[in-house]
Structure 1
Amino acid sequence: MIKSILQLLRRDVTRGVFGTILLKVGSGALAFALFSLAARTMSPDGFGIFATWLSIAQIASVVGLVGQESLLVRFLNEYQVDNRPDLTKGVLLSSLKISAVAMVIAIGAVALVAKMRGDWWLLILAVSAYTAVNAGLMLGSQVARSLVSILMGEGNREFFWRVSVVLFLLVVMTGHRLLDPAELIAVMTIAMSVGLGAQIVAVARALPDFRGTAATSETSRWRSSALHFWVASILEAANQYFDVILVYWMLDPTTAGIYFAASRLANIFAMLSAALYSFGARRLPSLYFSKNHQEFERTLRLMAEVTALSVVGGLLLIWIGGPHLLNLFGPHFAAQHWVLIVLAIGTAFQAAGGPSAAILQLTGHERIYVPVVAANVALRLIGFLVLIPWLGVLGAAISATVSLALATIALNILCRRRTGVDPSILTLLRFSAWKRGPYRVRAAEPGE
């Protein structure tokens, strides 16, 4: 077994996957440190308010990008393989213009809601600035990941800026001062701005000289794809952040903070899914558009092997060390171990399902992806309305896990039927299928 694991680690794709996972795990560890320190430097209600407004800002960032971050992943790789600098320039300019206008509208809506609630002007300003910078990082990371490296894209989006914020919180904690939510959001925004600046410089250096290239457009293709990507992105953001807002609305700020902490810990598996997506989004599109089916299938299988090892290790960590991890947020968090376990089961199930969503969107089947995610959100909302009055925060966790598991199953069935690819860890059990012959990735037919 040890020999097999060592052989697995020597493979180039495996090293790439593990490197991306380590980056995500490091980012997750810093996020955990950030949120646990924030919980200890704020009042229970203050941390709940911070978590709720952070969730609102994340959703607003996704809404304001209008699907352009996913659109760039889809078309930058295609145009690079086809050697079309004119279309590369066109899609970059188009995405920047559209997202800039839409973000102004989204930020205005967030500020208006905050003002109607009677929130302090400093909180409104901090949340608005955070929304804008976060959206810039989300868009910039997609471009940097495609043109520069995963480290430049994901590192500046999720890793480097958190180091300075964690150091700031450590200083605050040693001074025994309570933070206001607006103060922490402002500090996070400043730190993220540095990372955004680094991305802009790196991308500008990596781009070819477009001065002599006339930008051309495929407006109808871009508009159609962007609409589906936008709806999917909003639904995915709702899956990840809307829970905290609902718990805040149906229960209280303190409970919202508890649910936020438990969901961030359970996101150890969501980090795995995000790492696989980040690696796949950089490697799989070029293999797909260059029709390198053998390497495409080899990459998927090695991703499944890494996923299986990570899911088992993560579940053991949550089961054994969960109470100790929750206690780092504060004594009243540690009593919610079962909430953490239930949430972790759902995110582990999603991670084990593999990058089915990415494959469906990559091969042109994004239209069937959107209804599944929409059904997931609707089912989760119904579960919240039914279970929270009965079971409290545990009911919210059960609803989230059940809806996530059903959506994962549906996406994997659709992925196998529409593309011929099984991206889940179950593919490791089908030795005979791989011996008989590799899968063949099938793109969407016109009108499908």
Structure 2
Amino acid sequence: MVKFLGKRMGSDHSGGLIDSLLLIVARIGANVLTLVWTLLLVRLLQPEASGHALQAISVAQIISIMMTLNLESGAMKVVVPARHDGQLEKAAGYIRFNRQLVMMMTPVLLAIVGLIYAVGIAVPETPATVAAMVLAIVLVAMARLTARHASALGVMRKGLMPRLLTGPVVLTLGLGLAWLAGLQMQPWHVVLLFALSEGITVLIQNRLLRDDFTFLQHTRSDRSEWLGWTKLGIWLTPGLIMTEYRKAILIATAGLVLTGTETSLFAVAFSIINIINFGVVAVDVAFSPRIAQAMAARADQRRDKLLASSGAIKLAGLLLGAVLVLLFGRMALGWFGTEFHDAGPALLIMLLIPATSVVLGPATVLMSSRGLGRQDFTGNVIGAISCVVLICAFGALWGVVGAAIGAVMANLLGQIAMTVLCRRKLGVDPTLATLRHLLPGNTDGSKTVSP
């Protein structure tokens, strides 16, 4: 089958298809396991305590961006062209600088935490929870940057697959064993288990990538462009937040105007839709190294056909996901309790979130791969502001359904902004219109949109 695909689609497209399928399976599996360990968490802890644990984990994920200043998001822009041009010193310097930045920021993090306690700022978490959270922050940062480096080196599976699966597996096993043993757990136990899962992830990543990182041992480092790397990482930070941590932001924003019960309905509904979102992101991640290489080589026809292949895969996945939600969505909501059936309308509305992402295409991937940090920043800031304003406004008017409408509209505005900026700055059409490049006899792949 793989050989057949290789002949029919070419190695780039078949490789992207295989990576996409693997990542879709991994992301869906990880999301299912996340639902499982969330259910276990609720059974082991009181609702208030489980909320503190989930809050601490979310905070650890978001603050981990500070540890790297999001430099790793520019890996495609820096490492791919450097290796293509034979500038291994630059690639080595970039990777080493990323790692060293985590080491430099760790004392800063500890100082900030110490200052918070010294001035007596009240925090709901116990010292043990905060300590576990600090450890998790550092390890999440290491796992994320290693995954980005692996993708830029063309061995994405070795870096990203452990990051997707290790955490959910460890948390599910750990909480499952605790539940079977009848243990009494505290929030800090859960946060520490999360930190352990991230530590195991880092160990697995580095074991798998040992051979791929050997060039670092024999290559000098060129860090002369560190300031530009830092600026690019900061510009791309809103993009990271709006893609990787979108779920946390949506739920936190909805909680500003919804009751606790309504927030739970909204969170569960989005968690189910997030399985489809993960599939869309998986395809973009799988194809991003190949698209970045094509753009670095100015191979416009190859770039457009890669965009078309990824769009076709995402469209097929979206249609399958929509059918499954329509058939089994109500049953899935019932797993959390009969009261969650009230989230059914919101669940159907939020199907439009992955739909708009598929139709409008991976503009943010294209812009970040070409180092257009300011444009990526602008588009994602528009999306973030829209998210807060629209979810709060419509949620206050119509509850869970209103918050779902606000989330869809915010995603649509952010995606439109990204697509417009991509067309203006790169002259590339990222939308599903690229499917025309898969038609037999189509040879206009080198044509681009006039900026």
Name the TM-score class by shorter chain: 0.7 to 0.9
CA deviation map 1:269-296 (0-9, x unaligned): 3212321232123322222223333322
Q: 1:198 is matched with which residue?
A: 204
Question: C-alpha displacement at 1:317, in angstroms?
Answer: 1.6
CA contact (8 A) 1:272 1:351 kept: no
Out of 376, 399, 411, the residue aligned to residue 369 of structure 1 is 376
| Inter-partner Cα distance in structure 1 for 2:306 and 2:148 | 20
Secondary structure at the counterpart of residue 206 of structure 1: coil
CA contact (8 A) 2:436 2:442 kept: no
| Inter-partner Cα distance in structure 1 for 2:341 and 2:200 | 35
Give the aligned residue type for 1:51.
L
Question: C-alpha displacement at 1:377, in angstroms?
Answer: 1.3
CA deviation map 1:81-121 (0-9, x unaligned): 11112112211222222343335545665683896224222
Which runs of 5 or more residues in structure 2 are unaligned? none
Question: C-alpha displacement at 1:212, in angstroms?
Answer: 5.0
Give the aligned residue type for 2:236.
F
| Inter-partner Cα distance in structure 2 for 1:309 and 1:278 | 17
CA contact (8 A) 1:46 1:181 kept: yes
CA contact (8 A) 1:40 1:330 kept: no
Q: 2:29 is matched with which residue?
A: 26
Write the mapping of 1:247-266 to structure 2, written as runs, cut at 5 A.
247-251=254-258, 253-266=260-273
Write the mapping of 1:149-228 to structure 2, written as runs, cut at 5 A.
149-175=155-181, 179-211=185-217, 213-216=219-222, 217-228=224-235
Question: C-alpha displacement at 1:383, in angstroms?
Answer: 1.9
Matched, 1:116 2:122: yes
CA contact (8 A) 1:79 1:87 kept: yes
| Inter-partner Cα distance in structure 2 for 1:146 and 1:160 | 21
Bigger shift: residues 197-206 or 265-274: 197-206
Out of 356, 359, 372, the residue aligned to residue 366 of structure 2 is 359
Q: 2:323 is matched with which residue?
A: 316
Out of 313, 330, 339, the residue aligned to residue 332 of structure 1 is 339
CA deviation map 1:292-345 (0-9, x unaligned): 333222211111110110011111222221122222234433331222222232
Write the mapping of 1:125-144 to structure 2, written as runs, cut at 5 A.
125-144=131-150
Shift of the 18–212 alpha-carbon distance from structure 1 to 2, 3 Å rule, reads closer
Shift of the 102–270 alpha-carbon distance from structure 1 to 2, 3 Å rule, reads farther
Question: C-alpha displacement at 1:442, in angstroms?
Answer: 8.9
Give the aligned residue type for 1:327.
G
Write the mapping of 1:257-276 to structure 2, written as runs, cut at 5 A.
257-276=264-283
Out of 26, 44, 48, the residue aligned to residue 45 of structure 1 is 48
Question: C-alpha displacement at 1:202, in angstroms?
Answer: 3.4
CA contact (8 A) 1:40 1:329 kept: no
Give the aligned residue type for 2:346.
V
Out of 61, 64, 76, the residue aligned to residue 61 of structure 1 is 64
| Inter-partner Cα distance in structure 2 for 1:110 and 1:430 | 53
RMSD (CA atoms): 3.3
Question: C-alpha displacement at 1:267, in angstroms?
Answer: 0.9
Matched, 1:284 2:287: no
| Inter-partner Cα distance in structure 2 for 1:152 and 1:142 | 11
Secondary structure at the counterpart of residue 277 of structure 2: helix
CA deviation map 1:41-67 (0-9, x unaligned): 333333333333322222111233212
Bigger shift: residues 195-204 or 263-272: 195-204
| Inter-partner Cα distance in structure 2 for 1:250 and 1:161 | 31
Out of 93, 96, 109, the residue aligned to residue 93 of structure 1 is 96
CA deviation map 1:193-227 (0-9, x unaligned): 11101222333432244455432222343233223
CA contact (8 A) 2:307 2:434 kept: no
Matched, 1:422 2:422: no
CA deviation map 1:221-262 (0-9, x unaligned): 323322312344345566442232234454455544443332
Bigger shift: residues 207-216 or 120-129: 207-216
| Inter-partner Cα distance in structure 2 for 1:289 and 1:39 | 48
TM-score (norm 2): 0.86
Matched, 1:16 2:45: no
Question: C-alpha displacement at 1:177, in angstroms?
Answer: 5.3
CA deviation map 1:8-28 (0-9, x unaligned): 799444233223322222222
CA contact (8 A) 1:67 1:227 kept: yes
Out of 134, 151, 159, the residue aligned to residue 145 of structure 1 is 151
| Inter-partner Cα distance in structure 1 for 2:450 and 2:104 | 33
Out of 396, 405, 410, the residue aligned to residue 403 of structure 2 is 396
Bigger shift: residues 126-135 or 390-399: 390-399
Write the mapping of 1:370-389 to structure 2, written as runs, cut at 5 A.
370-389=377-396
Shift of the 268–201 alpha-carbon distance from structure 1 to 2, 3 Å rule, reads same
Q: 1:73 is matched with which residue?
A: 76
CA contact (8 A) 2:57 2:133 kept: yes
| Inter-partner Cα distance in structure 2 for 1:162 and 1:322 | 22
Shift of the 185–326 alpha-carbon distance from structure 1 to 2, 3 Å rule, reads farther
| Inter-partner Cα distance in structure 1 for 2:9 and 2:220 | 46
CA contact (8 A) 1:311 1:352 kept: no
Write the mapping of 1:294-305 to structure 2, written as runs, cut at 5 A.
294-305=301-312
**Identity between Structure 1 and Structure 2 (%):** 17
Matched, 1:410 2:417: yes
Shift of the 53–360 alpha-carbon distance from structure 1 to 2, 3 Å rule, reads same
TM-score (norm 1): 0.87
Secondary structure at the counterpart of residue 234 of structure 2: helix
| Inter-partner Cα distance in structure 1 for 2:158 and 2:439 | 40
Secondary structure at the counterpart of residue 371 of structure 2: coil
Question: C-alpha displacement at 1:352, in angstroms?
Answer: 3.4
CA contact (8 A) 1:148 1:206 kept: no
Query: How many residues of Structure 1 are paired with residues of Structure 2 in the alignment?
Result: 441
Bigger shift: residues 304-313 or 348-357: 348-357
